Amino acid sequence: CWCLPVIVGFLIVGLLYLVCFVSQWLHGWPDKPGYKKYIEALNPRIYRLTFTMLDLLKYFKYLRLYFQIKSWYKNEENSKHLKKGIVYGRRGNKLDLYYPPKMKRFRDELPPLVVFIYGGAWSTGDRSIYCLLARQMVEELNAAVVCPNYSNYPKGNVLMMIQDVADCLVWAQENGQKFSFDKDNIVLVGHSAGAHLGAMATLFLLDTREELLIDSKQQQEIIRSLRGVILSGVYSIMDHYEHEKMRGIEYMSCMSRAMNGEENFPRYSPAHVVKSLNGDKLKVTLSFRLSLPQSSTCSSLRSPRRCRSTCFLSSATLTLSLTSCCQADASTIPSPNVSNWNSGNSCFLD
């Protein structure tokens, strides 16, 4: 009978609509008097949010993977090359340090360090969820990997999160010898909100900002230790807020509150901050290798190729200049060779 599926469908959509209605009511609807507050239920935002919630249902298929990851992290047998819960920074946050399985290779020189900043809309996330990713980076790059927690909202605001990322880099500078990694050979990696925080921390360090509460000399030392920055995330808070409005989640999202209001969006947008930096501080040239599949950014390339590229900052924007010295017939793209990090400032983009 066709009636049963229709009824079930209406119940599911109706339940999600109710959840969206209550969530919007509790998390920031405009303070409208009397019945006008409830008229907001007819706002198209609620319908957009309902469809967004329906779209999120597809992630339930990863629940099993989530529990597998948590189980792996708790298993003491997997802690042979892992130090958990190392306290760092001024707020007592914790980080995990993953060692290369072939640590004995580094008798004469210490392994490089990857600092991975996870995302989570500035309000969620935990270092334990990324244990398998960190482990994979360790094995493929033969580098040490650090994954820190930070003061996400409501525990902290965006400035505190940026300070936490900078504090993690300070910890790396001060503890390289103790934990056996090269403190002067660091690559900062981040995704989503983590990429935003990594970009902001890097720009603040370049500008030796007082807000970081770190000695200016030490800030310069940290910048010199960064061999690359690999980011995939949010660079314009204003644009991302428009994206949230399009999906109907701007009241549900903690982003605006984490940024201390819309008036601070430009202040915490890397694309805006980079325009305000002194030109001398932006004379930073990073050389890197860019591995591109056929359907990636270099759509004009008809086959996977290895490209040498130059990434540089200008006072107007963050510019990516691709130099065409590609090997056209490369059938495979090898994993980045960590030994290349030692030759100047290098980063790898996927």
Q: Show the domain range for 16.
A: 3-63
Band of residue 282 on the pLDDT scale cut at 50, 70, 90: low
In-domain check, residue 331? no
In-domain check, residue 223? yes
Share of the chain residues as helix, strand and coil, in percent rounded to the nearest 5: 50, 20, 35
The confidence score (pLDDT) of residue 337 equals 39
CA 227 to chain centre: 18
Residues 154 and 95 in one domain: yes
Q: Rounded CA gap, 114 and 112, in Å? A: 7
Q: Which residues of 224-242 are buried (b: 16+ CB within 10 A; e: fewer)?
A: ebbbbbbbebbbbbeebbe
Q: Which CA distances in Å does 120 have to 33, 60, 299?
A: 34, 17, 30
Q: Which CA distances in Å does 106 have to 81, 101, 109, 149, 182?
A: 14, 11, 5, 28, 10
Helix boundaries (H) for 226-340: 237-247, 255-258, 270-276
In-domain check, residue 320? no
Q: Which residues of 315-340 are buried (b: 16+ CB within 10 A; e: fewer)?
A: eeebeeebeeebeeeeeebeebebee
Q: Rounded CA gap, 279 and 297, in Å? A: 28
Rounded to a whole number of angstroms, the CA Rg of the chain reads: 23
Residues 122 and 198 in one domain: yes
Residues 149 and 193 in one domain: yes
Q: Rounded CA gap, 275 and 282, in Å? A: 10
Residues 53 and 82 in one domain: no
Give the chain's domain count. Answer: 2
Instruction: List all residues 6 or more positions away from 127 whose beta carbon is below 8 Å from its beta carbon.
Output: 94, 95, 96, 118, 147, 148, 149
The confidence score (pLDDT) of residue 315 equals 25
In-domain check, residue 295? no
The confidence score (pLDDT) of residue 223 equals 93
Give the model confidence (pLDDT) of 123-167 as tens digits. Answer: 999 999 999 999 999 999 999 999 999 999 999 999 999 999 999
- What CATH number has the domain bearing residue 200? 3.40.50.1820
Identify any residues that bridge with 318 across adjacent strands, giving them in sequence order: 313
Nearest CA among 86, 169, 102 for reference residue 338: 102
Give the model confidence (pLDDT) of 225-255 as tens digits. Answer: 999 888 889 999 999 999 988 887 887 788 9
Nearest CA among 130, 16, 114 for reference residue 65: 130
Identify any residues that bridge with 337 across adjacent strands, giving them in sequence order: none
Give the model confidence (pLDDT) of 304-341 as tens digits. Answer: 222 222 232 222 223 222 222 222 222 332 333 333 33
Residues 47 and 172 in one domain: no
Nearest CA among 207, 211, 262, 221 for reference residue 240: 262
Residues 141 and 259 in one domain: yes
What is the reported pTM?
A: 0.74
Give the model confidence (pLDDT) of 157-186 as tens digits. Answer: 999 999 999 999 999 999 999 999 999 999
The confidence score (pLDDT) of residue 173 equals 95
Give the model confidence (pLDDT) of 19-28 as tens digits. Answer: 766 766 665 5
Q: Rounded CA gap, 32 and 20, in Å? A: 18
Nearest CA among 108, 137, 190, 97 for reference residue 336: 137
The confidence score (pLDDT) of residue 251 equals 77
The confidence score (pLDDT) of residue 54 equals 73
Residue 271 has pLDDT above 80, yes or no: yes
What are the E-state strand segments in the chain? Answer: 82-88, 93-98, 113-117, 144-148, 186-192, 226-233, 285-292, 305-313, 318-322, 346-349
